[in-house]
Amino acid sequence: MATNTNASEQIGFIGLGLMGHGIARNIVDKGYPLTFLGRQKRGPADDMIGRGAVEVSTAAEVAARSTVVFICVTGSRQVEEVIRGAGGLKNGLKPGSVVVDCSTSDPVSTMALTGELAALDVILVDAPLSRTPKEAWEGTLDTMVGASDAMFARLKPVLDTWAGRVVHVGGTGDGHRMKLLNNFLSLGYAALYAEALALAGKVGISPARFDSVIRNGRMDCGFYQTFMRWTLEGDRDAHKFSLANAVKDLTYLESMADSVGMANPLGNAAKNSFASAVAAGGAEHYVPMLATHVGRINGVDLTPPEKT
């Protein structure tokens, strides 16, 4: 239950998934009244009701009860449906309210929605996330925020309930632009690691020997260590971000590059690595499992050991 009372904002929340449940939980537990959109998977919804949140059945009802609405869904297609669809936010938003998109979205779509909501005197802010569901639950996510200075100041106390690192990167749209650049780096690393591990296997170097050189050297980093926990330890949950979402984000990166007339051959190469794994049936597998797929298609067994 909430530990204090903070009535300065009425919070709405749509998207109680792996990340959203932890975010919403922290908002409520740190004192903000919260209304959320109900869902068929009852575990997160029932938990939120137990913490004092209110469940409603349409996005429009969420909007009508809120001054700030957070959206945390898969991507732009889902965000557009939440805002524009039948019973969507546009049917209930009040002038002066704010919509905060925490999804990893296509900035081209973000800016189109910004214009539509501005006509209703509603501000759209983008605040995509970095880190994992573990940090979402602990309230220590990273977020990169696209908003005016005044709007950032208004939202900062709410963001601080669930983020340990809040970076104001620019105006609306810049959060999503920066998030795609961030994911380009991380997913690009993943594609490189997967191919390097497969090539290592082809020439007789085991994952453990490979790791003994990379770990603690100049090419080591936190993402590398998380990625390797699948291949070395069989930890399926080391990085709970699906291959399908990786393809989606790199497709958005391509769209962003196209919108400014820039070629992005490395981004497309990384996208195709993930797309190959998805086409082979791995859509719901997680990013570190890309190594197993790349190994398989090259005749290298990178099946990890059974996790003990």
Tokens of 199: 């090539």
Q: Alpha helices of the chain — where are they, by DSSP H?
A: 20-29, 42-50, 59-64, 76-84, 107-118, 133-138, 149-159, 174-202, 207-214, 222-233, 243-259, 265-277, 290-297
Spatial contact of 9 and 67, defined as CB atoms under 8 Å apart: yes
Spatial contact of 2 and 54, defined as CB atoms under 8 Å apart: no
Spatial contact of 166 and 120, defined as CB atoms under 8 Å apart: no
Active-site residue (options: 41, 90, 94, 179): 179
Spatial contact of 101 and 90, defined as CB atoms under 8 Å apart: no
How far apart CA 234 and CA 86 sit, in angstroms, is: 44
How far apart CA 62 and CA 82 sit, in angstroms, is: 11
Give catalytic status of residue 179 as yes or no.
yes
Tokens of 128: 């995509």
Residue 43's identity, in one-letter code, is G
How far apart CA 52 and CA 146 sit, in angstroms, is: 30
Catalytic residues: 179
